[in-house]
């Protein structure tokens, strides 16, 4: 989630910087006759060690509205990339197979909205015996005001609406398709259930097929908050699955069959245990000492 905050800081700062550069460029061009690309580069880009600059085409040949639209589109791409990277990283940490990875992506990207109507029931078969030893993360997530399993269905409709806007921008020439319109209408129909999620839902105007697709900076900031809630909630559900934890322990027990004797050397005990845990085809434990302590208490390690 730090990356979402970093993205916000970068694009908010870039918007201010771009606006101020336009102001400087306007003043420079009004005072200088025959403004050219090389002249602009010498004035504004030489100190960066650049041989050229795109400031002429970016600023003097485009309106602020056009520049702002491009910036907001890049901002939208950024937050989706961060969220999708989190989904992939989590799948890797869970050690999901290719088929389960696909189901995980369907769940967290709201490709099948019915899955989010009962998220706890949907997530169990996906993670199976895989478990990240992150009980402290689970407790922190579940105690947060943005841990919202019961609101994932509504949040998912918001996610899909903005994802289809992104797809239209990237693949449909920036115009709304039937998929775009359907996703946005589904999101609008769910806004009556939004109370208690965020102060206000990210705004998307009504669209018809063929309309130009645009997003505002405020709506992308709102989407980033939606993604933060989804990450928090899914992390809490995955990290805190007791059933998955018990299944992992039972699987480890079935592989070792008899209690495992650990080396007496303290520096070798944890490494020896982690190798045995991984040899049982389980993902590397994030909190190995805590897991070892529990398995010793259960009589599985000595």
Tens-digit pLDDT profile for residues 43-57: 666 666 665 556 666
Q: At residue 243, does pLDDT exceed 60?
A: no
pLDDT tier at 218, thresholds 50, 70, 90: very high
Average pLDDT over residues 155-183: 95
Q: What is the largest CA-CA distance in the chain?
A: 86
Question: C-alpha distances in angstroms, 87 versus 1, 104, 155, 157, 298?
Answer: 12, 8, 16, 17, 33
Higher-confidence residue of 295 and 51: namely 295
Contact (Cβ atoms closer than 8 angstroms) between residue 207 and residue 184:
yes
The pLDDT of residue 220 is 95
- Model pLDDT, residue 128: 67
As given in the structure block, the two tokens for residue 109 are 């990207």
Element (H, E) at 9: helix 2-31
Residue 46, classed as helix, strand or coil, is helix
What pLDDT was estimated at residue 45? 64
Q: How far is CA 12 from the centre of its chain?
A: 18
Q: Flag the least confident range among 120-124, 164-168, 169-173, 298-302.
A: 120-124
Backbone φ, ψ for residue 82 (5° rounding): -65, -45
H/E element holding 233? helix 217-239
Percent of the chain predicted with pLDDT > 90 = 41
Would the pLDDT of 130 be above 60?
no
Mean pLDDT of 257-276: 88
CB 240 within 8 A of CB 136: no
Which conformational region is residue 34 in: left (phi greater than 0), alpha (psi within -120 to 50 degrees), or beta?
left
What is the distance between the alpha carbons of residues 50 and 120, in angstroms, rounded to a whole number? 53
Average pLDDT over residues 271-291: 81
Structure-token match 């907001």, residue found: 72
pLDDT at 267: 77
The pLDDT of residue 25 is above 80? no
pLDDT of residue 242: 60
pLDDT average, residue stretch 197-207: 95
How many angstroms separate the CA atoms of 277 and 286, rounded? 12
* Residue of 191 and 60 predicted with greater confidence: 191
User: In this structure, what are the phi and psi dihedrals at residue 179, rounded to the nearest 5 degrees?
Assistant: -60, -40
> How many CB atoms neighbour CB 37 within 10 A?
14
User: What distance in Å separates the CA atoms of residue 42 and residue 33, rounded to the nearest whole number?
Assistant: 15
Q: How far apart are CA 26 and CA 38, in angstroms?
A: 16
Most confident option among 13-27, 105-119, 171-185, 286-300: 171-185
Per-residue tokens: 263: 């080396």
């Amino acid at each position: 989630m730090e990356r979402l905050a970093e993205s916000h800081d970068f694009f908010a700062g870039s918007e201010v910087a771009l606006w101020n550069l336009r102001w400087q460029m306007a003043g420079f061009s009004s005072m200088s006759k025959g403004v050219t690309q090389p002249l602009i580069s010498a004035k504004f880009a030489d100190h960066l060690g650049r041989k050229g600059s795109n400031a002429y085409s970016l600023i003097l040949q485009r309106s602020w509205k056009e520049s702002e639209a491009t910036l907001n589109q890049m901002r939208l791409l950024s937050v989706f990339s961060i969220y999708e990277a989190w989904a992939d990283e989590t799948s890797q940490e869970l050690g999901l197979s290719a088929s389960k990875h696909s189901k995980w992506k369907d769940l967290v990207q709201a490709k099948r909205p019915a899955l989010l109507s009962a998220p706890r029931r949907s997530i169990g078969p996906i993670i199976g015996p895989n478990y990240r030893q992150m009980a402290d993360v689970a407790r922190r997530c579940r105690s947060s005001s943005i841990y919202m399993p019961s609101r994932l269905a509504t949040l998912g409709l918001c996610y899909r609406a903005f994802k289809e806007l992104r797809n239209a921008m990237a693949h449909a020439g920036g115009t709304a398709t039937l998929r775009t319109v359907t996703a946005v209408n589904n999101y609008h129909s769910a806004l009556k259930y939004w109370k208690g999620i965020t102060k206000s839902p990210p705004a998307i105007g009504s669209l018809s097929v063929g309309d130009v697709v645009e997003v505002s900076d405020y709506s992308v900031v709102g989407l980033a908050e939606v993604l933060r809630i989804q990450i928090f909630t899914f992390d809490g559900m995955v990290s805190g699955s007791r059933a998955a934890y018990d299944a992992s322990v039972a699987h480890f027990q079935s592989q070792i069959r008899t209690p495992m004797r650990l080396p007496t050397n303290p520096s070798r005990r944890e490494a020896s245990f982690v190798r045995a845990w991984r040899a049982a085809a389980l993902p590397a434990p994030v909190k190995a000492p805590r897991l070892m302590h529990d398995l010793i208490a259960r009589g599985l390690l000595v």
